[in-house]
Structure 1
Amino acid sequence: MTSDPLHRPRAPSAALEAALYVDDLAAAEHFYGTILGLETVARVAERHIFYRVGNTILLIFDPTVTIIGSDNPQLPVPGHGAHGPGHFCFAADAAEITAWHDWLIAARIPIEADFHWPNGARSIYFRDPAGNSLEIAEPRLWE
Protein backbone atom coordinates (compact mmCIF):
# COMPACT_ATOMS: atom_id res chain seq x y z
CA MET A 1 0.00 0.00 0.00
CA THR A 2 1.35 3.40 -0.90
CA SER A 3 1.09 6.53 1.18
CA ASP A 4 0.21 8.69 -1.83
CA PRO A 5 -1.83 11.63 -0.41
CA LEU A 6 -3.94 11.68 -3.57
CA HIS A 7 -5.47 8.36 -2.51
CA ARG A 8 -6.02 9.14 1.14
CA PRO A 9 -9.56 8.34 2.36
CA ARG A 10 -11.68 11.23 3.57
CA ALA A 11 -11.02 12.39 7.13
CA PRO A 12 -12.87 10.54 9.88
CA SER A 13 -16.25 12.17 10.56
CA ALA A 14 -16.65 11.45 14.27
CA ALA A 15 -14.93 10.22 17.40
CA LEU A 16 -16.19 6.78 18.37
CA GLU A 17 -14.31 6.42 21.64
CA ALA A 18 -11.85 8.21 23.88
CA ALA A 19 -9.87 6.86 26.83
CA LEU A 20 -8.86 8.09 30.25
CA TYR A 21 -6.69 6.14 32.67
CA VAL A 22 -7.27 5.77 36.40
CA ASP A 23 -5.60 3.95 39.26
CA ASP A 24 -8.84 3.27 41.19
CA LEU A 25 -11.71 1.83 39.15
CA ALA A 26 -14.12 1.84 42.11
CA ALA A 27 -13.62 5.58 42.65
CA ALA A 28 -13.96 6.17 38.90
CA GLU A 29 -17.15 4.10 38.78
CA HIS A 30 -18.70 6.16 41.58
CA PHE A 31 -17.63 9.43 39.96
CA TYR A 32 -18.63 8.73 36.35
CA GLY A 33 -21.69 6.60 37.14
CA THR A 34 -23.10 8.36 40.19
CA ILE A 35 -21.81 11.94 40.15
CA LEU A 36 -21.94 12.40 36.35
CA GLY A 37 -24.74 9.88 35.76
CA LEU A 38 -23.19 8.24 32.71
CA GLU A 39 -24.66 4.97 31.42
CA THR A 40 -22.36 1.97 31.90
CA VAL A 41 -21.85 0.01 28.67
CA ALA A 42 -19.35 -2.59 29.92
CA ARG A 43 -17.27 -3.38 32.97
CA VAL A 44 -14.49 -5.87 33.50
CA ALA A 45 -13.34 -6.00 37.12
CA GLU A 46 -9.84 -4.66 37.70
CA ARG A 47 -9.49 -3.68 34.01
CA HIS A 48 -12.00 -1.17 32.63
CA ILE A 49 -15.39 0.54 32.68
CA PHE A 50 -16.95 1.90 29.50
CA TYR A 51 -19.58 4.68 29.50
CA ARG A 52 -21.89 6.05 26.83
CA VAL A 53 -21.58 9.79 26.18
CA GLY A 54 -23.99 10.54 23.34
CA ASN A 55 -22.58 8.79 20.27
CA THR A 56 -19.15 8.36 21.88
CA ILE A 57 -17.90 5.77 24.33
CA LEU A 58 -15.69 6.97 27.17
CA LEU A 59 -13.24 4.21 28.06
CA ILE A 60 -11.91 4.25 31.63
CA PHE A 61 -8.91 1.92 31.89
CA ASP A 62 -6.52 0.81 34.60
CA PRO A 63 -3.21 1.35 32.74
CA THR A 64 -1.33 -1.25 34.78
CA VAL A 65 -3.54 -3.91 33.18
CA THR A 66 -4.14 -2.52 29.68
CA ILE A 67 -0.43 -2.00 29.02
CA ILE A 68 -0.42 -5.76 28.43
CA GLY A 69 -1.94 -6.73 25.08
CA SER A 70 -4.67 -9.32 24.69
CA ASP A 71 -3.74 -12.98 24.46
CA ASN A 72 -7.11 -13.77 22.85
CA PRO A 73 -6.55 -14.36 19.10
CA GLN A 74 -10.20 -13.42 18.44
CA LEU A 75 -9.64 -9.97 20.02
CA PRO A 76 -5.99 -9.10 19.34
CA VAL A 77 -6.07 -5.67 20.98
CA PRO A 78 -2.51 -4.40 21.43
CA GLY A 79 -1.30 -3.12 24.77
CA HIS A 80 -1.96 0.55 25.39
CA GLY A 81 -2.11 2.99 28.23
CA ALA A 82 -0.99 6.31 29.59
CA HIS A 83 0.13 7.64 32.92
CA GLY A 84 -0.67 11.04 34.27
CA PRO A 85 -3.75 13.18 33.85
CA GLY A 86 -5.64 13.24 30.57
CA HIS A 87 -8.46 15.47 29.37
CA PHE A 88 -12.04 14.92 28.20
CA CYS A 89 -14.62 17.56 27.31
CA PHE A 90 -18.40 17.04 27.54
CA ALA A 91 -20.77 19.18 25.46
CA ALA A 92 -23.61 21.12 27.09
CA ASP A 93 -25.60 24.28 26.47
CA ALA A 94 -25.30 27.35 28.70
CA ALA A 95 -28.18 26.42 31.02
CA GLU A 96 -26.86 22.86 31.42
CA ILE A 97 -23.40 24.19 32.27
CA THR A 98 -24.90 26.33 35.02
CA ALA A 99 -26.78 23.31 36.36
CA TRP A 100 -23.61 21.17 36.23
CA HIS A 101 -21.64 23.89 37.99
CA ASP A 102 -24.15 23.99 40.83
CA TRP A 103 -24.38 20.17 41.01
CA LEU A 104 -20.62 19.71 41.14
CA ILE A 105 -20.22 22.35 43.86
CA ALA A 106 -23.00 20.66 45.90
CA ALA A 107 -21.19 17.32 45.40
CA ARG A 108 -17.99 18.96 46.71
CA ILE A 109 -16.22 18.68 43.36
CA PRO A 110 -14.08 21.83 43.03
CA ILE A 111 -14.45 23.88 39.87
CA GLU A 112 -10.91 24.78 38.72
CA ALA A 113 -11.98 27.27 36.07
CA ASP A 114 -15.23 28.82 34.85
CA PHE A 115 -14.89 31.29 32.00
CA HIS A 116 -16.02 32.42 28.57
CA TRP A 117 -13.72 31.91 25.59
CA PRO A 118 -13.05 34.83 23.18
CA ASN A 119 -16.01 33.69 21.03
CA GLY A 120 -18.31 33.75 24.10
CA ALA A 121 -18.57 29.98 24.68
CA ARG A 122 -18.46 28.98 28.34
CA SER A 123 -16.34 26.18 29.84
CA ILE A 124 -16.04 24.78 33.32
CA TYR A 125 -13.13 22.59 34.37
CA PHE A 126 -12.92 20.07 37.20
CA ARG A 127 -11.09 16.80 37.96
CA ASP A 128 -12.04 13.18 38.43
CA PRO A 129 -10.62 11.23 41.41
CA ALA A 130 -7.58 10.18 39.32
CA GLY A 131 -6.72 13.79 38.47
CA ASN A 132 -7.95 13.75 34.86
CA SER A 133 -9.01 17.20 33.67
CA LEU A 134 -12.67 17.25 32.72
CA GLU A 135 -14.42 20.08 30.94
CA ILE A 136 -18.02 20.86 30.13
CA ALA A 137 -18.24 23.36 27.29
CA GLU A 138 -20.70 24.84 24.87
CA PRO A 139 -20.21 23.21 21.45
CA ARG A 140 -20.00 26.66 19.84
CA LEU A 141 -16.52 26.80 21.35
CA TRP A 142 -15.33 25.19 18.09
CA GLU A 143 -17.52 27.12 15.65
Structure 2
Amino acid sequence: MEIKKIKETCLYVTDLERTRSFYEKKLGLNVIGEVKGRHVFFRTGTSVLLCFIAEVSAKAGTLPPHYGTGHLHLAFEVAPEEYESWKEKVRNSGIPVEQEYDWGKGFFSFYFRDPDQHLLEIVMEGMWEK
Protein backbone atom coordinates (compact mmCIF):
# COMPACT_ATOMS: atom_id res chain seq x y z
CA MET A 1 0.00 0.00 0.00
CA GLU A 2 1.17 3.52 -0.70
CA ILE A 3 -0.19 7.04 -0.41
CA LYS A 4 -0.14 8.59 -3.88
CA LYS A 5 -0.32 12.32 -3.06
CA ILE A 6 -1.79 14.97 -0.83
CA LYS A 7 -5.26 15.44 -2.29
CA GLU A 8 -6.16 18.63 -0.45
CA THR A 9 -4.44 21.26 1.62
CA CYS A 10 -6.17 23.61 4.02
CA LEU A 11 -5.49 27.20 5.01
CA TYR A 12 -7.39 29.14 7.63
CA VAL A 13 -8.16 32.70 6.59
CA THR A 14 -9.90 35.76 8.00
CA ASP A 15 -11.70 37.19 4.95
CA LEU A 16 -13.16 34.90 2.27
CA GLU A 17 -13.78 37.63 -0.31
CA ARG A 18 -10.18 38.86 -0.02
CA THR A 19 -8.95 35.25 -0.19
CA ARG A 20 -11.11 34.49 -3.23
CA SER A 21 -9.91 37.63 -5.00
CA PHE A 22 -6.25 36.79 -4.33
CA TYR A 23 -6.30 33.15 -5.40
CA GLU A 24 -8.83 33.49 -8.22
CA LYS A 25 -7.97 36.86 -9.74
CA LYS A 26 -4.26 37.18 -8.98
CA LEU A 27 -3.15 33.53 -9.22
CA GLY A 28 -5.85 32.31 -11.61
CA LEU A 29 -7.12 29.35 -9.56
CA ASN A 30 -10.63 28.10 -10.33
CA VAL A 31 -13.23 28.17 -7.57
CA ILE A 32 -14.88 24.75 -7.25
CA GLY A 33 -16.89 25.25 -4.07
CA GLU A 34 -17.99 28.02 -1.76
CA VAL A 35 -20.20 28.50 1.27
CA LYS A 36 -20.48 32.20 2.14
CA GLY A 37 -19.06 32.92 5.56
CA ARG A 38 -17.48 29.45 5.87
CA HIS A 39 -15.15 28.40 3.04
CA VAL A 40 -13.97 28.72 -0.55
CA PHE A 41 -12.29 25.81 -2.39
CA PHE A 42 -9.93 26.09 -5.39
CA ARG A 43 -8.75 23.58 -7.99
CA THR A 44 -4.94 23.30 -8.12
CA GLY A 45 -4.12 20.78 -10.84
CA THR A 46 -5.35 17.45 -9.49
CA SER A 47 -5.42 18.74 -5.91
CA VAL A 48 -7.67 21.12 -3.99
CA LEU A 49 -6.84 24.15 -1.84
CA LEU A 50 -9.40 24.55 0.95
CA CYS A 51 -9.67 27.96 2.62
CA PHE A 52 -11.80 28.07 5.76
CA ILE A 53 -12.75 30.67 8.33
CA ALA A 54 -11.18 28.97 11.37
CA GLU A 55 -13.83 29.98 13.91
CA VAL A 56 -16.60 28.55 11.74
CA SER A 57 -14.87 25.26 10.83
CA ALA A 58 -13.95 24.75 14.52
CA LYS A 59 -17.62 24.19 15.36
CA ALA A 60 -18.97 20.65 15.32
CA GLY A 61 -21.08 19.74 12.32
CA THR A 62 -21.36 16.85 9.88
CA LEU A 63 -17.56 16.44 9.83
CA PRO A 64 -15.15 16.59 12.75
CA PRO A 65 -14.33 20.18 13.75
CA HIS A 66 -10.97 21.49 12.55
CA TYR A 67 -9.15 24.80 12.65
CA GLY A 68 -5.70 26.27 12.92
CA THR A 69 -3.82 29.46 13.56
CA GLY A 70 -0.54 30.95 12.47
CA HIS A 71 1.16 31.50 9.17
CA LEU A 72 1.35 28.27 7.18
CA HIS A 73 3.35 27.25 4.11
CA LEU A 74 2.43 25.49 0.89
CA ALA A 75 4.08 25.10 -2.49
CA PHE A 76 2.50 25.12 -5.94
CA GLU A 77 4.32 23.02 -8.55
CA VAL A 78 4.71 24.41 -12.08
CA ALA A 79 6.37 23.16 -15.25
CA PRO A 80 10.00 24.35 -15.43
CA GLU A 81 9.30 26.21 -18.69
CA GLU A 82 6.50 28.17 -16.95
CA TYR A 83 8.53 29.12 -13.85
CA GLU A 84 9.69 32.56 -15.07
CA SER A 85 6.19 33.36 -16.37
CA TRP A 86 4.76 32.59 -12.93
CA LYS A 87 7.31 34.83 -11.26
CA GLU A 88 6.37 37.63 -13.67
CA LYS A 89 2.63 37.00 -13.10
CA VAL A 90 3.05 37.25 -9.32
CA ARG A 91 5.10 40.45 -9.56
CA ASN A 92 2.74 41.98 -12.13
CA SER A 93 -0.15 41.29 -9.73
CA GLY A 94 1.53 43.56 -7.19
CA ILE A 95 2.63 40.69 -4.96
CA PRO A 96 6.19 41.08 -3.64
CA VAL A 97 8.51 38.11 -4.12
CA GLU A 98 10.28 37.65 -0.78
CA GLN A 99 13.02 35.33 -1.93
CA GLU A 100 14.11 33.08 -4.75
CA TYR A 101 16.11 29.98 -3.95
CA ASP A 102 18.42 27.85 -6.09
CA TRP A 103 17.94 24.22 -5.02
CA GLY A 104 20.71 23.01 -7.35
CA LYS A 105 20.55 20.81 -10.44
CA GLY A 106 18.60 23.54 -12.27
CA PHE A 107 15.69 23.70 -9.82
CA PHE A 108 14.45 27.01 -8.42
CA SER A 109 11.57 28.23 -6.31
CA PHE A 110 10.33 31.60 -5.10
CA TYR A 111 8.34 32.69 -2.08
CA PHE A 112 5.54 35.23 -1.55
CA ARG A 113 2.65 35.81 0.86
CA ASP A 114 -1.13 35.72 0.59
CA PRO A 115 -3.35 38.33 2.33
CA ASP A 116 -3.31 36.29 5.58
CA GLN A 117 0.50 36.13 5.48
CA HIS A 118 0.67 32.42 4.64
CA LEU A 119 3.97 31.70 2.88
CA LEU A 120 3.38 30.48 -0.66
CA GLU A 121 6.00 28.99 -2.93
CA ILE A 122 6.19 28.30 -6.64
CA VAL A 123 8.48 25.34 -7.24
CA MET A 124 9.64 23.69 -10.45
CA GLU A 125 8.13 20.30 -11.24
CA GLY A 126 10.53 17.41 -10.80
CA MET A 127 12.51 18.91 -7.93
CA TRP A 128 11.65 16.20 -5.41
CA GLU A 129 11.67 13.39 -7.95
CA LYS A 130 15.41 13.63 -8.69
Q: TM-score range by the shorter chain?
A: over 0.9
Quick check: 1:51–1:57 contact (8 Å CA) kept in 2? yes
Query: Following TM superposition, by how much is the alpha carbon of 1:139 offset from its aligned partner in structure 2, in angstroms?
Result: 2.1
TM alignment of 1:1-143, pairs within 5 A: 10-70=1-61, 76-143=62-129
Aligned Cα root-mean-square deviation (Å): 1.1
Query: Following TM superposition, by how much is the alpha carbon of 1:116 offset from its aligned partner in structure 2, in angstroms?
Result: 1.3
Query: Following TM superposition, by how much is the alpha carbon of 1:47 offset from its aligned partner in structure 2, in angstroms?
Result: 0.5
Query: Following TM superposition, by how much is the alpha carbon of 1:120 offset from its aligned partner in structure 2, in angstroms?
Result: 2.9
Quick check: 1:97–1:124 contact (8 Å CA) kept in 2? no
Quick check: 2:108–2:124 contact (8 Å CA) kept in 1? yes
Give TM-score scaled by structure 1 length: 0.85
CA distance in 2, matches of 1:15, 1:104: 24
Query: Following TM superposition, by how much is the alpha carbon of 1:93 offset from its aligned partner in structure 2, in angstroms?
Result: 2.1
Give TM-score scaled by structure 2 length: 0.93
CA distance in 2, matches of 1:54, 1:93: 12
| 1:7-61 CA-partner distances (Å, limit 9, x unpaired) | xxx1211221110111111110000110011111100001000011111111011
Quick check: 2:80–2:125 contact (8 Å CA) kept in 1? no
Quick check: 1:22–1:60 contact (8 Å CA) kept in 2? yes
Structure (1 or 2) with the greater strand fraction: 2
Query: Following TM superposition, by how much is the alpha carbon of 1:66 offset from its aligned partner in structure 2, in angstroms?
Result: 0.5
Which ranges of 4 or more aligned residues in structure 1 deviate by more than 2 Å? Answer: none
Aligned length: 129
Quick check: 1:43–1:50 contact (8 Å CA) kept in 2? yes
Aligned-residue sequence identity (percent) comes to: 34
CA distance in 1, matches of 2:112, 2:73: 10
| 1:78-135 CA-partner distances (Å, limit 9, x unpaired) | 1101101111111112331211111111111000111210333110110100011111
